[in-house]
């Protein structure tokens, strides 16, 4: 669709101004009608379109390997995403996809997609996700790629889980880690710390009541951290896109993802709220996976840490903490003028974040 023309400044006699005003109004009404038709009748845009193959499965989880004509960099890259929402935000639409960008740059890219948790998954803990899913996926990636090391990239909670894995497992070698808005230090998590502070908020009661915490419960809680922006801003951004001539497909794809949530296994939810947000065990070296202490000093990988200065879900200092807590010598921190999603979607992501990640990995792969 062509860009919407800007309204012209009105000049001239009252009659001429009236004619110009009428013309502008007609143009706006026509544009509004056309966009309304697209919003109402067009199907939801397809997402996750970068060609891929399923190379391993466990339960609902799938390990994807993305098809690439030529692999320039031998070290494979494994993406780990959070347990809520869907992983296709990393491969949203053609031209707006971090995975697509890395594949085109010649990287051997994998993604662990958790799938949609159901009632039988209610007792899954981080012990299971780290040892039975991520650890096995890592071995499979290295086996297929024929390497003894890999790079890992974690977005949001996926970065937290990547940290747990890297602190516990020395082989295969985690050569590089890319952190994308990943919470590590939960001491001051902004409004989340206030809302989830004990004894006012009881995660045991939530987990015991629901067993499998409904996606609607999680979605509402996250959106209420910034209700005006999340409930009304969605549509103000739409009208801004209309004015600027931005593709409606991009807006619809992002809106689809924002509302495409998954249930949260109650056992993992209990750990996430109590042991991370309320007790901050990870940075205190008190968090345990199957009885083994997770010590962040064990991490010696090269680190690329990315944060959004407007992120209200994961504050920049929460991610930056890994720079001091690990034993890594090769480490970089980049702060971008975006929110949580802006690190993987939008013009800043496409023009700044994607190249930053690609260039950093290329120099270490």
Q: Which residue numbers are catalytic?
A: 156, 311, 340
Measured from the Cβ of residue 214, the count of other Cβ atoms closer than 10 Å reads 13
Identify the CA nearest to 261 among candidates 116, 108, 96: 116
Identify the CA nearest to 229 among candidates 204, 258, 264: 258
DSSP 98-134: HHHHHHHTT--EEEEE-----GGGTT--HHHIIIIII
> How many CA atoms lie within 13 Å of 56's alpha carbon, on the beta-carbon side?
21
3-state helix, strand, coil in the chain (%, to 5): 45, 15, 35
Angle at 48 between CA 43 and CA 51, to 5 degrees: 120
Q: Which residue has the tokens 């997402």?
A: 47
DSSP state of 93: B
Q: By three-state DSSP, how is residue 10 classified?
A: coil
Identify the CA nearest to 346 among candidates 202, 247, 205: 247
Q: Give dist(CA 186, CA 202) in Å, integer.
A: 17
Long-range contacts of 226-235 (CB under 8 A, 24+ apart): 226/312, 234/258
Q: Are 303 and 175 in contact (CB under 8 A)?
A: no
Identify the CA nearest to 265 among candidates 119, 133, 161: 119
Q: Are 310 and 337 in contact (CB under 8 A)?
A: yes
Write the burial class of residue 362 (CB in 10 Å: 0-12 exposed, 13-18 middle, 19+ buried).
middle
């Amino acid at each position: 669709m062509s860009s919407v023309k800007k309204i012209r400044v009105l000049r001239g006699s009252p009659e001429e101004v009236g004619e110009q005003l009428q013309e502008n109004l007609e143009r706006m009404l026509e544009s509004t009608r056309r966009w309304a038709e697209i919003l109402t009748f067009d199907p939801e845009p397809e997402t996750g379109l970068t060609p891929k193959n399923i190379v391993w499965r466990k339960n609902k989880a799938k390990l994807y390997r993305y098809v690439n004509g030529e692999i320039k960099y031998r070290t494979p890259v494994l993406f780990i995403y959070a347990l809520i929402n869907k992983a296709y935000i990393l491969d949203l639409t053609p031209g707006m996809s971090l995975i697509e960008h890395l594949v085109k740059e010649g990287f051997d890219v994998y993604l662990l997609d958790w799938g949609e948790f159901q009632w039988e998954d209610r007792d899954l803990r981080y012990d299971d996700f780290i040892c039975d899913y991520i650890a096995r996926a890592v071995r499979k990636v290295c086996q297929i790629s024929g390497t003894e090391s890999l790079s890992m990239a974690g977005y949001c909670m996926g970065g937290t889980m990547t940290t747990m894995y890297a602190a516990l497992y020395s082989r295969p070698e985690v050569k590089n880690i890319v952190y994308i808005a990943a919470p590590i230090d939960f001491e001051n998590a902004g409004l989340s710390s206030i809302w989830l502070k004990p004894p006012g908020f009881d995660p045991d009661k939530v987990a015991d009541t629901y067993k499998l915490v409904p996606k609607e419960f999680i979605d509402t809680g996250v959106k209420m951290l910034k209700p005006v922006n999340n409930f009304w801003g969605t549509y103000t951004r739409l009208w801004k896109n209309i004015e600027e001539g931005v593709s409606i497909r991009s807006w619809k794809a992002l809106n689809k993802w924002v509302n495409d949530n998954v249930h949260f296994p109650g056992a993992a939810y209990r750990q996430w709220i109590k042991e991370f947000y309320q007790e901050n065990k990870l940075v205190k070296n008190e968090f345990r996976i199957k009885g083994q202490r997770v010590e962040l000093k064990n991490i010696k990988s090269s680190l690329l840490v990315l944060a959004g200065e407007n992120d209200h879900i994961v504050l920049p200092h929460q991610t930056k903490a890994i720079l001091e807590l690990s034993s890594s010598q090769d480490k970089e921190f980049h702060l971008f003028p975006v929110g949580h999603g802006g690190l993987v979607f939008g013009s800043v992501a496409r023009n700044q974040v994607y190249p930053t990640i690609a260039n950093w990995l290329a120099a270490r792969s």
